[in-house]
Structure 1
Amino acid sequence: MEPGSPAPKKSRLVHSADCEMEEAQAPSSSNAAGGVNQSLHWTQWQILDSILPTGGFAHSYGLEAAMQSRVVNDQEDLRSFVVQVLDSAGSLLLPFVHCACAGKSPGDAAAWAKLDRLLDATLTNEVARKASAAQGSALLRVAASVFAEVPALQELRRTLLGSKSVSFHHAPVFGLVCGLVGFDGEAAQRAYMFVTMRDVLSAATRLNLIGPLAASVLQHQLAPDAERMVRKWRDRDVSEASQTAPLLDAVQGCHAYMFSRLFCS
């Protein structure tokens, strides 16, 4: 072969195959880091998955009582109801999600217990208080069992179970879990609003107020409203928590007095 002539095709193919084998045998550190981040994303998505058995679908956020009280009668009423629920959750509960997630030490049991006790004193609606405690307790139990790679969850749960003054309310538990699995404060607050909207619409389908497809369409249409509520109420301290929907609170409180009911709240 003359000098300067191109290498035979076979040689180029062999060289290319050798390079591919070397790359496969020696993955770069950036790929390894990417694998860790991707694993974290799967964990974060699972928290929002409806298959996670946290008991959220046992509660209607007052929708069942609102229907029996004739406050909600059709899909237009449902749309207005969901917006009010999001506004109420944003004003009253989002500060607890934010402070539990973005605190100086998300795994600080004493600081978290203080948030939990404050929310317990803030919730004047007995039905909402019991529902919040039931959902939060279930979420922490499930998270501690599922996300075994986060030992702080197991340690914190063991510590808090020994305290009789802790109620395990859902909003601070949600913020705590999100913080420990890598959510930033804004993502955790947005996730909480998403879960709230999802659960209300799920309850509406089981109450035959709306069909599954129509509920999905409505959820998509309500996304701008949910985002508006997040921007309106995000990053607030618990000292700013307030109830903006007293009628909704009063109607939900009637749930325990209904003769026939499908949901716990």
Structure 2
Amino acid sequence: MGSEMEVDDGTKKHVLMDSVLQWSQWQLLDSILPTGGFAHSFGLEAAIQARLVLQPEDLRTYVVHVLENTGSLLLPFIYAAAMSPDKQTWHRLDRILDATLTNEVGRKASITQGSALMRVAAAVFTEVPSLKTMRDTSLGTGAVSFHHAPIFGLVCGLLGFDSGTSQRAYMFVTLRDVISAATRLNVVGPLGAAVLQHQVAIVAEDLSNKWMNRAVEEACQTTPLLDTVQGCHGYLFSRLFCS
């Protein structure tokens, strides 16, 4: 009888821990988490001033291209980090991505967002103490630049996301943030933005499946024009976003 009670208590504790972890997973994808993503437009602001995006139809095309580029270039880093969420893998992926990114505006945005995500994750998700340990032992060493994609994959892996969900989650936050930027740039209204996000979700799923589970060595740019446009952001006379 006593052993049965111990097993039952252990099962209840395991279920409780899984439930608590699920709340943390949802919080990671919540826009209220202060990671700085909404300070960046993914080059959309520069594209608008270059008159590449003038109306909602152009916006949809731009968003799809952003998702395609995110899938081809960054999902391999999410996948690798989520599969092996440890300090050694994170540092290796960070160095590779730092050498891969040629657009200085995008590179700085990646570092800014990644640094913020790691700081917030270490402070918020205290049930995963290794996050704070990895951050504390990496700060000021020069061994890591804190790029966003590897850190996002790392956090997903430590919070119990499987690799597929981790990659879809990254596509989701990218879609969410670029459409939010479009709303603040008055390309689309709040209701139109919600409709667009729902419609493009189907495309995002197809693109996720297309680029999912690829090795880091396969990471590539599929829409180089986006990279060029984002690189022009620093030359804008007036701007609302950092990138």
The two structures share one fold, judged by TM-score above 0.5: yes
Q: 1:144 aligns with which of 122, 128, 136?
A: 122
Deviation at 1:29, TM superposition (A): 4.5
Q: 2:171 aligns with which of 193, 197, 205?
A: 193
1:220 aligns with 2:198: yes
1:48 aligns with 2:26: no
User: Equivalent residues in 2 for 1:204-243 (5 A)?
Assistant: 204-243=182-221
Identity over aligned pairs, percent: 64
Q: 1:113 aligns with which of 68, 91, 98?
A: 91
- The residue identity in structure 2 corresponding to 1:93 is L
Residues 11-57 of structure 1, C-alpha deviations (whole Å, 9 max, x = no match)? xxxxxxxxxxxxxxxx7554433222111110000000000000000
Q: 1:246 aligns with which of 180, 199, 224?
A: 224
2:5 is aligned to: none
1:33 is aligned to: 14
Residues 228-251 of structure 1, C-alpha deviations (whole Å, 9 max, x = no match)? 010000001100000000111100
Deviation at 1:264, TM superposition (A): 0.2
1:84 aligns with 2:62: no
3-state SS of 1:263 partner: coil
Q: Within 2, Cα distance between the matches of 1:237 and 1:160?
A: 25
Considering only CA atoms, is the larger Rg found in Structure 1 or Structure 2?
1
Report how many aligned residue pairs link the two structures: 236
Q: 1:126 aligns with which of 86, 104, 107?
A: 104
Q: Within 1, Cα distance between the matches of 2:23 and 2:71?
A: 26
Q: Within 2, Cα distance between the matches of 1:252 and 1:86?
A: 15
3-state SS of 1:110 partner: helix
1:178 aligns with 2:159: no
5+ residue gaps, structure 2: 1-7
1:57 is aligned to: 38
TM-score with structure 1 setting the length: 0.87
3-state SS of 2:242 partner: coil
Q: Within 1, Cα distance between the matches of 2:112 and 2:76?
A: 20
Residues 85-115 of structure 1, C-alpha deviations (whole Å, 9 max, x = no match)? 0000000001001101112xx12x2321111
Deviation at 1:211, TM superposition (A): 0.6
1:260 aligns with 2:241: no
2:52 is aligned to: 71
Residues 151-208 of structure 1, C-alpha deviations (whole Å, 9 max, x = no match)? 1001100111132131100000000011111111111000000000000000000001
Deviates more, 1:164-173 or 1:28-37: 28-37
Deviation at 1:84, TM superposition (A): 0.2
TM-score with structure 2 setting the length: 0.95
Structure 1 segments (4+ residues) deviating >6 Å = none
User: Equivalent residues in 2 for 1:154-165 (5 A)?
Assistant: 154-165=132-143
